[in-house]
Amino acid sequence: MAEPPQTDEGWFALHDLRTVDWDAWRDAPDHEQDRAVREGIDYLQRHEAVADADEGVSAVFSVLGHKADLMVVHFRPTLDALSTAERAFDRTALGGFTEQTTSYVSVTEVSGYGSTDYFDDPESVDAGYRRYVEGKLHPDIPEDTYVSFYPMSKRRDPEYNWYDLDFEERSDMMSAHGETGKGYAGKIKQVIASSVGFDDYEWGVTLFADDPTDIKDIVYEMRFDEVSAKYGEFGQFYVGRRFPPEDLDAFLAG
Ligand code: 76R
């Protein structure tokens, strides 16, 4: 058997994607719309403030195109907390105007393809590296930002089977991947979360950027990295923009 990398896990993630029933929304009387906006803002503010758990982060995004209108992203310490957050949205008057078209469940992950010092003894690595790992396991979400979310897997074809490769070979490819990624320092923030055992692909990738072209550029450039070119398989892409809960009214009016 090829050797799996060591991993460490942090917060669990739920990407909750919803369409708005615009016909029902337009037909609804003012007082129902007002209640939906009020309860929606209250829900989003409370969850962004993580009033429902000890720690975590949440954010809401408007999504372009037909696949969804809204994406609510939650990171929480447990799957149970995510489940509670998901159900609480359904119970709001806003939830009644939405349909959950898809969703994605995962857990933030770092893997030991590089140095294994952190995995052998987290105390042995320097504070800067620990902060770096901590930021991956317990990410924040930039405020005024574009987002791209997509699930992906590593291929398991007879010719290209990632899970059959020697550790060394995978490690070399991941390090080349990391080098490409470093070229986007300051432009792209990525959250990599494993969905093995939780959802249909193996990872959920969430990219944040001030400039959406940087999202296009990194995904395109990485297609030429050996690891993505030979072993990457991708699900659907969702692109959107974060908005503050107080702007829910404007989102629904628009
Ligand atoms: O060196 C390090 O500390 C980290 C190196 C690193 C790992 C191990 C790294 C760096 N990534 C790692 C793991 Mn990544 N990443 C993606 C995508 O669309 C595509 O083709 C791929 C989607 C992007 C855009 C991205 C960005 N990465 C992973 C894994 C787990 C693989 C496994 O365990 O087999 C996946 C699925 C994945 C996918 N990666 C970086 C980036 C960026 C910007 C970096 C460098 C900056 C940084 O480390 O913060």
Q: Indicate if 150 belongs to the active site.
A: yes
Is 172 domain-assigned?
yes
Is 160 domain-assigned?
yes
Q: In a mutational test of the pocket of ligand 1, which residue from 177, 208, 223, 226 has the highest number of ligand atoms less than 8 Å from its CB?
A: 177
Residue 173 Cα to ligand 1 middle (Å): 11
Q: What is the pLDDT of residue 115?
A: 79
To which residue do tokens 């990525």 refer? 190
Query: Of ligand 1's atoms, which has the minimum distance to the CA of residue 7?
Result: 33
DSSP 94: T
CB contact set of 243 (below 8 Å; sequence gap of 6+) = 60, 61, 62, 251
User: Is the CB of 106 inside a 6 Å radius of any atom of ligand 1?
Assistant: no
Task: Tell me the per-residue pLDDT of 11-44, one tens digit each, with 9 for 90 and over.
Answer: 999 999 999 999 999 999 999 999 999 999 999 9
The number of distinct structural domains making up the chain is 1
Identify the CA nearest to 215 among candidates 150, 124, 168, 137: 150
Catalytic residue chosen out of the listed positions 43, 104, 118, 150: 150
- Domain region containing 155: 7-252
Is 2 domain-assigned?
no
Q: What is the pLDDT of residue 177?
A: 98
Distance between alpha carbon 154 and the CA centroid of its chain, in Å? 18
Positions of the chain with pLDDT under 70: none
* Residues 142 and 189: beta-carbon distance below 8 Å: yes
Q: Which amino acid is at 22?
A: W
Which CATH number fits the domain that encloses residue 55?
3.30.70.1030
Is 1 domain-assigned?
no
Whole-number Å distance between alpha carbons of 38 and 31: 10
Whole-number Å distance between alpha carbons of 121 and 105: 29
Measured between alpha carbons, how far is residue 221 from residues 31, 32, 110, 225, 235 in Å?
50, 47, 22, 7, 18
Is 154 domain-assigned?
yes
User: Is the CB of 228 inside a 6 Å radius of any atom of ligand 1?
Assistant: yes
CB atoms within 10 A of CB 123: 7
**Strand ranges (DSSP E) for the chain?**
7-20, 57-63, 70-76, 98-111, 146-154, 188-194, 203-209, 232-234, 238-242
Residue 62 Cα to ligand 1 middle (Å): 25
Query: Biggest alpha carbon distance in the chain?
Result: 63
Q: What is the pLDDT of residue 242?
A: 98
Measured between alpha carbons, how far is residue 190 from residues 19, 35, 48, 73, 82 in Å?
25, 35, 19, 14, 21
> Cα Rg for the chain, rounded, in angstroms?
19
User: What is the value of pTM for the model shown?
Assistant: 0.97
Is 123 domain-assigned?
yes
